[in-house]
Structure 1
Amino acid sequence: MSVHKGAPALLSAGTLCAALLLTGCASTSPAPAPAGPASTAPPAGDSRPKGAPPRAADGPAGSLSSAPAPAPVPRIPGVGPVTHALVPDGTTQALVVTGSTADDNTATATLYERDPGGRWTEAAGPWPAHNALQGWTVDHRAGDLRTPIGVFRLGDAGGRLPDPGSRLPYDQDKEFAISGTGFSGEPLEGSFDHVIAIDYNRVPGRTPLDKERPLGAGKGGGVWIHVDHGGPTQACVALDREALRTLLRALDPAREPVVVMGPAPALAR
């Protein structure tokens, strides 16, 4: 019998808010105008010294009215504005899994965290990773041997082995067993000793073993982060065993973690 602990609510995608700049200006008291010919004195009612630059309202020379340019929105390294807009506003942990091209089945995974000031910094990794045999796709289909591109929530975990200290709900179940060989002839046994469910075409808050597919069976499912067996996957992302255990202990539901995954050119948009 499997035991699955309580699950957090489903996230909605959002955009980061731009940081506001606080600006100030200093003023100085004008000095008395020296005596001189009437033709060089300031206009009546103008207390500025003779020869002082015009006020902002007097013409283009007044630069005090120019507002500073807004500060750039802090983004996850390697992630462009279009992709970053899909990261929920409350997310402060993001696992970025990046391949070189759309057809690559090897990748690099790095965990980033956002500090209170909004800056994203590397928290763990980078780790080598495998993805699907044929690479990546924006339109994943069951059996296409490609990993979905996008931003997906990480909220549920499990595995054949006991919980290594995960803060995500963890379902230990013998049904995570797997056998056979991979695409390179490598043994698959132990690949599901620990897994993290990627919220692609699944119901959040359930064990990774759950088979319900909200988008329909044709869109695939069961896309996980699991133990690397030494070769490409069907659609999942695979990490070295110790890297995965480190990730399981690092992910915090309170930080609304997501995975941002795909080839580097796609993520940079």
Structure 2
Amino acid sequence: MLTGCGAPASSGAPPKGVAGVRSDGEGSQGAVVAPAPPAPPAPPLEIPGLGPATRAEIPVDARQAFVVTGQGADSNESTAVLYVRDAPDRSWTPVFEPWAAHNGMEGWTEEHSTGDLRSPVGVFGLTDAGGKLPDPGTLLPYDEEDYFAVEGDGFFGEPLEGSFDYVVAINYNRVEGVSPIDHERPLGEDRGGGIWIHVDHGGPTQGCVSVSEDRMKELLLTLDPGKKPVIVMGDKASLAR
């Protein structure tokens, strides 16, 4: 009887030169290949542009970081990005595209003092908000006061009206948990204070950080005190340390 193409007319034993399977289930060579060890997990992504010294200042329990990066030590123009993470060991991810922002007229300083027209460099908590306009729905404590009304012109002649319609207090030389308009200065009056994130008026500030009104509302609606938000602020070179 004919068999299949090339098949030996034998009892079914494997032909010579073809590896068979032994009765114990192992291959004819008897070798067992160990599986490759799993690759180690990738480290969490850090916030771009921040050096080890700056990252070390961010509290372990902070899960929101509003990063304001100045173009240079003496520049009053900057960009701002809000980052979040789910847990201390998770990656930081941006919430929004970079926003245009202003900072102090003379740029940045690590030793802010009254009247120097520079924004302080560092990492500070964001715990309290307020403004002349009603609360847009923020989770932060919000103080609506007519005191936030402002008049006059900025450094380039731009009107300041509406600049304090919405503000978030930056916890530099202030007491946490009170209105942004509180005047207590734990470091002393000569170290300045009243440093806020507020509505941009189209020019540099006395030392605050400013973004557009729409961006301010977005920020207020996103910041969550349960996530221990902070602001990381300074010029590029300072933040890269």
TM over 0.5: yes
In the alignment, structure 1 residue 84 sits paired with structure 2 residue 33: no
CA RMSD for the aligned pairs? Answer: 2.6
In structure 1, distance between residues paired with 2:139 and 2:196 = 17
In the alignment, structure 1 residue 119 sits paired with structure 2 residue 103: no
1:98 aligns to what?
69
State the Cα deviation string for residues 173-231 of structure 1 (Å, max 9, x = none). 00001100000000001100000000000000000000000000000000000000000
Residue segments in structure 2 that go unaligned for 5+ positions in a row: 1-25, 32-36
| Equivalent of residue 135 in structure 1, options 62, 87, 107 | 107
1:152 aligns to what?
124
CA contact 1:77–1:120 (8 Å) conserved in 2:
no
Q: Residue 118 and residue 162 in structure 1: after superposition, are their counterparts in 2 closer, same or farther (change >3 A)? A: same
State the Cα deviation string for residues 58-79 of structure 1 (Å, max 9, x = none). xxxxxx9xxx999656421221
1:212 aligns to what?
184
In structure 1, distance between residues paired with 2:155 and 2:127 = 29
In the alignment, structure 1 residue 240 sits paired with structure 2 residue 212: yes
Rg bigger for which structure?
2
Deviation, 1:125, is 3.3
State the Cα deviation string for residues 107-144 of structure 1 (Å, max 9, x = none). 00000011345101110231100000000000000000
CA contact 2:170–2:197 (8 Å) conserved in 1:
yes
In the alignment, structure 1 residue 179 sits paired with structure 2 residue 151: yes
CA contact 1:152–1:200 (8 Å) conserved in 2:
yes
Moved more, 144-153 or 71-80: 71-80
In the alignment, structure 1 residue 262 sits paired with structure 2 residue 234: yes
In structure 1, distance between residues paired with 2:131 and 2:229 = 19
2:12 aligns to what?
none
Moved more, 121-130 or 182-191: 121-130
Deviation, 1:266, is 1.1
1:191 aligns to what?
163
Residue segments in structure 1 that go unaligned for 5+ positions in a row: 1-30, 35-48, 50-63
Moved more, 116-125 or 155-164: 116-125
In structure 1, distance between residues paired with 2:139 and 2:63 = 15
SS in 1 for 2:126: strand
TM superposition outliers: structure 1 runs of 4+ over 2 Å: 68-74
Deviation, 1:153, is 0.2
State the Cα deviation string for residues 11-66 of structure 1 (Å, max 9, x = none). xxxxxxxxxxxxxxxxxxxx9xx9xxxxxxxxxxxxxx9xxxxxxxxxxxxxx9xx
AA aligned opposite 1:235 = G
Over the matched positions of the two proteins, sequence identity in percent amounts to 57
